[in-house]
A and B are shown apart, each in its own frame.
Chain A
Amino acid sequence: MTDVLVTAVPAAPLLGALAVRLPRTPRGADRVSYISACLTAALALAASMLGALHDPAGIRGSWFVLDRAGAAFLAVIAVIGWLSASASGAYLAHAGKGLFTARGARAWYHTAFHLFWAALLALALVDNLGVAWLAIEATTGASALLVAYTGRRNALEAGWKYLVLTTFGLAVALLGIFILFVAIAPHGGALSTLDWQTIARRAHVLPHETAVFALVLILAGLAAKIGWAPVHNWLPDAHSEAPPPISALLSAALLPTVILIVWRLVLTLGLAIPHRLADHLVLAFGLLSLAVAVPFLWRPMPWKRLLAYSSLEHMGILALGVAFATPLATLGVIIHIAGHALAKSLGFYAAIPIQRHYPHSTEQPSRGLARLSRPVGAAAAISLATLSGLPPSPLFLSELLILLGGVAAHQVAAVAIATVLLALGFLGLAHALIETLAGESRGPRWPAGRTVRLTRRLTIVTASGLLAVTIGGFALVAANAGAGLMGGLA
């Protein structure tokens, strides 16, 4: 029964991708997409509940592993996918034909969206490094088309850059996976050679040099997909040029889910490598990402570009949590992923009315939103305040847990550097928050049209979600739940 339910999770959006081709009108395609999204989210949340309520060892099926950490990721992907599907109709109503022919533009958007979502859901579940690579590569094809959906020159540039950089990054990762495969099965072997548990079991017999080499190649390749500095060049461009619902899915679901694969890799292949080198490599990516992101948070940026650099910062924070690898840090990572996903996606959804009413928003910072539209201003305020880590944001709690986890892991120097960078990032975003809300703005107030009403609804949903994550986070801390989160790999 569990096997059927979990298999239905990625299968539902695959069927949805086909179903959205059936209606003859764009509105019909929107409706079918939304129904399919509701079904997918319901299935994914049901599977996620199963994983969360199961014992810490997790559920292992024919092709999947569902432990508590995986369940949390699955829930995040389900919620963000559903929210993005809900927001897509309002965006598409004013988006024009873009990259595709006018007749099929909207159906193509929904098809690519559901394919992208299916690959993401599968990625959170797969129990095999090779299949995880295939799922990551599959996300690239669909999402690159979506990044360039508007068909504008900048969008084409962003989509092409994303396609080339991540595809070559993944080719490097593939060589690393091949080397690992040969090290475990020198004459070739079955697919199960690359199962997470097989890698963990065989780690102690792998030659150190080969294991290090494989790990470095895989990490470097996946870092290009996550957008960790210094291989982050595609990230600000793709996030700022993609349609806002897709930016939300990229930032809030794709990047963290690839970090889940890195996390599982570090916990399994990392056993073959002495001196916690795997942790140190991830730590280096994390600190570098923070250091690269923070100066951009201080500069006046177009709204979505600001959110993109904030994604770089938050992927750096997640890297720190994975690298510290203590129960506190692990718990911090899970809370951070949920809080970041909700806050960041709300910020991107707010970009829908911003783009609609302020056509220069892709080139210039958005100012005075509190005067122009209170619902949009409220969405921007909640998003930026949460992302900056302002208490009682769940990200304040998660960042505190990750830093305390770092102290517990005796990484005091890294914690000190990260604390300074986080403080600087907070000040940068706080300044951006004030300017965005109260800065000088021109023009009349925005009418409460469809996009503004949508933003109001999504603000209520995500703000409730953020409150739930904060309360849930404190409950998890009280229950000392960090230790059993990655039980599926034990």
Chain B
Amino acid sequence: MTGALTWGIVVSSLAVVVVRRRLTAIVLVAAQSLALGVYAIARNPHVSPALAVTATVLIAKALLLPVLLTVTTRSARKERPLTTEPPALIRLSVALTVGLVIEQLIPPFGLTDASIEHAAVGMLALGISVALVRRAVIFQALGFLIAENGIYLAGLSLAAGLPVVIELGLAFDLVVSVSVAAAFAAKIHEHLGSGDTSFLEALRD
């Protein structure tokens, strides 16, 4: 995998931490999936059925999930920026700190290309960071997609890819998780008139 593609995907994850508009963030995550899917095709999927499945899953993810999430956010199109969210610079600092700390903690785990190991772990950390620093429901769902794209990135570096059953299972789970998250997002908007999860803090002991 080219270094530019790998780090382009990581930078797009960082961008999700700072961008203001939900639609921009959705497009960025869709572009990540599309880039990974195109790369899987470029690796000649005839060599391994797993790669063909990966490419199909990633491209379907790039096309379908953004549609689902956009439909969910349509009801809140005129929503103002969330005032409970920290400023973009602080969000970026937190995400970078979390990413770098996790990078340092995790030793090499055997992929031939060390930069892909770093990028995959970094994306998992950034996905978690997005859920931590962004308050909007949709951004938290996008955080999960970013984390999972990190695993796909690592899987694509294996010659034979991941087992097909795991690929299909991952795709199924992803669709279920994102659909459930979208259903929650719609209901939370309906109840609170906002997708701000900081309003969901009534349950404490």
Residues of A within 8 A of B (CB): 99, 130-131, 134, 137-138, 140-142, 144-145, 148, 151, 153-154, 156-161, 163-164, 167-168, 171-172, 174-175, 178-179, 181-183, 186-191, 193-194, 209-210, 213-214, 236-237, 240-241, 296, 299, 301, 305
Contact = CB atoms under 8 A, between A and B. Distances in A.
A160 B188 contact: yes
Contacts, number: 140
Interface stretch (B12-20, B71-79, B83-91, B106-114): B106-114
Interface string B177-205: 10111011001100110000100111101
Interface of B: 48, 50, 106-107, 109-111, 120-121, 124, 127-128, 131, 137, 140, 143-144, 147-148, 150-151, 154-155, 158-166, 169-170, 172-173, 176-177, 179-181, 183-184, 187-188, 191-192, 197, 200-203, 205
A164 B158 CA distance: 29
The binding surface of chain B is classed by DSSP as helix
B200 A157 contact: yes
Contacts of B162: 178, 181, 188
Contacts of B140: 164
25 contacts: A130-B163, A131-B169, A134-B169, A144-B180, A144-B184, A145-B180, A148-B184, A151-B187, A157-B203, A158-B203, A160-B137, A160-B197, A161-B203, A163-B177, A164-B131, A164-B144, A168-B144, A174-B151, A175-B120, A188-B160, A191-B163, A210-B109, A236-B203, A296-B205, A301-B205
B165 to A, nearest CB: 5
A175 B200 contact: no
Of B124, B172, B179, B205, which is in contact with the most chain A CB atoms at under 10 Å from its CB? B205
The binding surface of chain A is classed by DSSP as helix
Of A153, A154, A241, A305, which is in contact with the most chain B CB atoms at under 10 Å from its CB? A153
A134 B176 CA distance: 11
A429 B128 CA distance: 37
B203 A148 contact: no
B200 A156 contact: yes
Given A137-B173, A154-B202, A164-B131, A171 B124 contact: yes
Nearest to A135: B169
B6 to A, nearest CB: 16
A145 B182 CA distance: 11
A161 B188 CA distance: 12
Contacts of A140: 177, 180
